[in-house]
Structures are given as C-alpha cells and as structure tokens.
Amino acid sequence: MSPDTAPILSVSEVVKRFVLRRTLGDRLARRPGLTQTAVDHVSFELAHGEILGLAGGSGSGKTTLARMLIRLVEPDEGRIIFRGSDVRDAGGRGLREVRRQMQMVFQDPYSSLNPRMRVGAAILEAGRVHHQPGAENGTSFVERILDLVRLPASAAQRRPQELSGGQRQRVAIARALAVGPEVLIADEAVSALDVSIQTQLLNLFLDLRDELGLSIIFVAHQLSVIAEVADRVAIMHEGRIVEIGSTVDVFHHPTHDYTRALLAAHPHPRPPAPTGGVA
Ligand SMILES: Nc1ncnc2c1ncn2[C@@H]1O[C@H](COP(=O)(O)OP(=O)(O)OP(=O)(O)O)[C@@H](O)[C@H]1O
Ligand SMILES: [Mg+2]
C-alpha cells in the first residue's frame, strides 16, 4: 500500500472491559471481579478525507470506542495505528500530539468551553497552546477560524451562554480547529439540536472535510444524521461492529439482522446522495 492510500487511522481488535463490581471475595482471591465488555474486538480503518459514521443503539459502545482512539479511555487490547504509530505506545508529549491531531467534539459544547471565557480568547488560547501558525496575530487568527465555522468576526466578543445551541456547537468546532487537527471525532455532536440546525451543522462538517481535507468519525444514534454526512457507516451492536460499508449500500441493502432492525426502528433516514464517496 503506498503512503498516499494508507489509512490515516487503522484500528484492529480493540477491546475495552469495564469492571462492574469487585467484591471483597474477589479481592482476596485476586479475581478481577464482574466485567462488561463494552468494546469487543473492533477493527476498522479511516481513510484520509473520509467521513465514517458510527451508528448503533444506546450502550453499544460507540462513545467508549471513540474515546479509546485518543486514550481518554485506555484500551485493554488491540492496536490503534495513527499516521503509522500505535497510539497505545505514545507517552506524555507523543500523546499530547495525538490529542492535538485528533480532536473530539462532544454533544454538549459546555463540556469543552469555559463559560467565563469569550469566544475569541478561547480560540486564541487553543491555538497558542499548540503553537499554531498565525496564533500570535490574535485578531486575524480568530477571524480566520470563526470564518471556517461560518461565524461572524463579532462572535469573538461573545461568551458561550450568549449563543444559541447551534452557534455554541460551531464555537466548539472552531476551538477544535484552532489547534490544527487532521481528524475530528464528533460524538453525538448534532444530536441535541433541531433538525434544521442539524442540517446546517452537517453541511459544515462536509465543507470542513472538503476545505481542510479533514478525516471525520461521526458518532450518532440517529441514522438520518449518518445518512446525510457519512461516506461509510459502521453499525455497532453489543460492543462489536456487525456491519461496515458504504452508507448507500448499508442503508439500502443491510446484510445483518441488527442493521435491519435499526433501520426498521428509524424508518425514514434521509437518503444518502447517490454520488457520495470518499473525496
Ligand atoms: N466508565 C464506565 N464504567 C463502567 N461501564 C461503562 C463506562 N463507560 C461505559 N460503560 C458501559 O459500556 C457500555 C457502552 O457504553 P457507551 O457509552 O460506549 O455506549 P454508546 O453506544 O455511546 O451509548 P449512547 O448511544 O447511549 O451514547 C455501556 O453498557 C455502558 O454502561
Ligand atoms: Mg455515547
């Protein structure tokens, strides 16, 4: 495989078990206690410039898998090869660099935004911490990043609580972009928003992929959201990827019973564009 076609991220056989309960008897006998396998030998690849959807019911392991990619949750087994190196081997500075290059966007923008900090200051801080080019010229850096997320320059003076939910999510994306990532991991990033605002944000993710060449992992329990944005989709069930393929194929010709059940429970996903593909 030539370097150009090599995936930016290659995940193989990752496992996460959570200890549910460890009794005194377990401790004395040095038994691990009752565990639950939240992610069970999951493998997938993410191509450069690809948007991979991750769908599945509540508790299927989507968030655990997403967080393991940057070791916010430590994997128990498996390999996570990002740009040629295993994320699991990364130490202090290496792990910080992995976390700069793979940025997470969460459902609740408040979790990543300081409510007391104005938007411009938050963007600038992120850029400066990671020595991003241009971050020393405050205003133009902030304006450029705000422009990427289609917010006016005046948004720099606002605080998060003065913004609408959609605007706030744009700011969270802006802050992620300010550090110059190559991958965005969006975990239910539009799930809490109205459908019309959702569509605007999904279009933003598509534009960012095209303009910046970002690769995106898009976690969502709403299949309609995945249908609008993802080139390929992985369906998770009980910690495993039960089906993975192009979004058009999986939604129109599901091969796994669970995928069929999921589609039957969400009967009207907005159909993916027939021309959708990896840019
Ligand atoms: N820190 C934890 N400790 C123990 N169990 C956990 C922990 N985090 C997740 N789990 C369990 O792992 C399983 C997978 O959870 P996860 O949050 O990854 O699912 P999800 O697919 O993101 O669900 P949702 O759609 O509700 O966000 C669940 O059974 C959950 O209870
Ligand atoms: Mg989740």
Tell me how far the alpha carbon of residue 82 lies from the centroid of ligand 2, in angstroms.
22
Indicate whether residue 56 lines ligand 1 (CB < 6 A). yes
In the predicted structure, residue 213 carries a pLDDT above the cut 60: yes
Q: With respect to residue 7, please indicate whether it lies within any of the assigned structural domains.
A: no
pLDDT band at 270 (very low <50, low <70, confident <90, very high): low
Q: With respect to residue 221, please indicate whether it lies within any of the assigned structural domains.
A: no
Ligand closest to CA 61: 1
pLDDT at 277: 40
What is the arithmetic mean of pLDDT over 47-57?
A: 96
Q: With respect to residue 47, please indicate whether it lies within any of the assigned structural domains.
A: no
Q: With respect to residue 134, please indicate whether it lies within any of the assigned structural domains.
A: yes
If you average pLDDT over every residue of the chain, what do you get?
A: 91
pTM metric for this prediction: 0.91
What is the arithmetic mean of pLDDT over 243-260?
A: 95
The distance from CA 7 to its chain's CA centroid, rounded to whole angstroms, is 16
Closest CA to 180 of 219, 220, 137, 134: 134
Ligand closest to CA 73: 1
Tell me how far the alpha carbon of residue 107 lies from the centroid of ligand 2, in angstroms.
9
Q: With respect to residue 231, please indicate whether it lies within any of the assigned structural domains.
A: no
Q: With respect to residue 203, please indicate whether it lies within any of the assigned structural domains.
A: no
Q: With respect to residue 143, please indicate whether it lies within any of the assigned structural domains.
A: yes
Q: With respect to residue 83, please indicate whether it lies within any of the assigned structural domains.
A: no
Residues 190, 225: Cα–Cα separation, whole Å: 8
Tell me how far the alpha carbon of residue 59 lies from the centroid of ligand 2, in angstroms.
7
pLDDT at 266: 78
Ligand closest to CA 241: 1
pLDDT at 48: 96
What is the arithmetic mean of pLDDT over 43-62?
A: 96
> How many domains, the chain?
1
Tell me how far the alpha carbon of residue 18 lies from the centroid of ligand 1, in angstroms.
9
pLDDT at 1: 47
Indicate whether residue 66 lines ligand 1 (CB < 6 A). no
Taking CA atoms, 130 is separated from 69, 104, 178, 224, 279, in Å, by 20, 16, 9, 35, 28
Residue range of the domain that includes 161: 110-180
Indicate whether residue 61 lines ligand 1 (CB < 6 A). yes
What is the arithmetic mean of pLDDT over 245-267?
A: 91
Give 72-105 pLDDT, tens digit per residue: 999 999 999 999 999 999 999 999 999 999 999 9
